[in-house]
Structure 1
Amino acid sequence: MNSNKTSHFDKEILINEPEDHDTYNLRLPEGTATAQVYQVFPGIQATKIDISSYQYLPETNKSRRIIEINHCQSGRFECQMEDGCFQYVGEGDLFLSPLQNHCNNIELPLGYYQGFIITIDLDGIPCEWSRILPGMPNNICSTLERFFLLDECFLIQSRDAIKHIFSDMYSVSEKIRGVYYRLKIMELLLYLFCFDPMIESRKNIYARQQVDIVKQIQKRITEKLSYRFTIKELSQEFLISATALKQHFKGVFGQSIAAYMKEFRIQKASQLLCESEQSIADISAAVGYESQSKFSAAFKEIMKVTPLEYRKTHRINP
Structure 2
Amino acid sequence: MPVHEWRDISLGWKTCSTFRHSSYFPTGFYKGLSLAVYVPKAQAAVDAFVGKNSIDLEEVCNRFCTANGVGLVKDTGRLKELFMDLYNVPDVLPEVYLRVKCVEIFVLLGTLTCESGDEHIYFERAQVETIKRIHDEIYNDLGNHHTIEALANRHRISMTALKRCFKAVYGITIYQYVKRCRMNFAAKDLVNTNDAILEIANRWGYENGSKFSSAFKQIMGCNPREYRVKNKMLN
TM score, norm. by length of structure 2: 0.70
1:277-316 mapped onto 2 (5 Å cutoff):
277-312=194-229
User: Aligned to 1:206, which of 119, 124, 127?
Assistant: 124
Report the counterpart of residue 68 of structure 1 in structure 2.
2
Report the counterpart of residue 13 of structure 2 in structure 1.
98
User: Aligned to 1:256, which of 162, 165, 173?
Assistant: 173
TM-superposed deviation, 1:118: 2.4
Q: Name the aligned partner's letter for residue 123 of structure 2.
A: I
TM-superposed deviation, 1:175: 7.9
SS in 2 for 1:298: helix
User: Aligned to 1:272, which of 186, 189, 193?
Assistant: 189
SS in 1 for 2:33: strand
Closer/same/farther in 2, CA of residues 295 and 198 from structure 1, 3 Å limit: closer
Closer/same/farther in 2, CA of residues 295 and 149 from structure 1, 3 Å limit: closer
C-alpha separation in 2, matches of 1:172 and 1:294: 44
Closer/same/farther in 2, CA of residues 155 and 200 from structure 1, 3 Å limit: farther
Closer/same/farther in 2, CA of residues 170 and 276 from structure 1, 3 Å limit: farther
Report the counterpart of residue 165 of structure 1 in structure 2.
79
Percent of paired sites with the same residue: 25
Alpha carbons 2:64, 2:72 under 8 Å: kept? no
Closer/same/farther in 2, CA of residues 200 and 164 from structure 1, 3 Å limit: farther
Closer/same/farther in 2, CA of residues 305 and 118 from structure 1, 3 Å limit: farther
Q: CA RMSD in A?
A: 4.1
Paired residue total: 229
TM-superposed deviation, 1:265: 1.0
C-alpha separation in 2, matches of 1:145 and 1:69: 9
TM-superposed deviation, 1:195: 3.4
TM score, norm. by length of structure 1: 0.55
Q: Which has the higher strand share?
A: 1
TM-superposed deviation, 1:133: 5.7
Alpha carbons 1:122, 1:142 under 8 Å: kept? yes
User: Aligned to 1:155, which of 63, 71, 75?
Assistant: 71
Q: Name the aligned partner's letter for residue 121 of structure 2.
A: K
Q: Name the aligned partner's letter for residue 11 of structure 2.
A: L
TM-superposed deviation, 1:109: 4.7
Closer/same/farther in 2, CA of residues 221 and 195 from structure 1, 3 Å limit: same
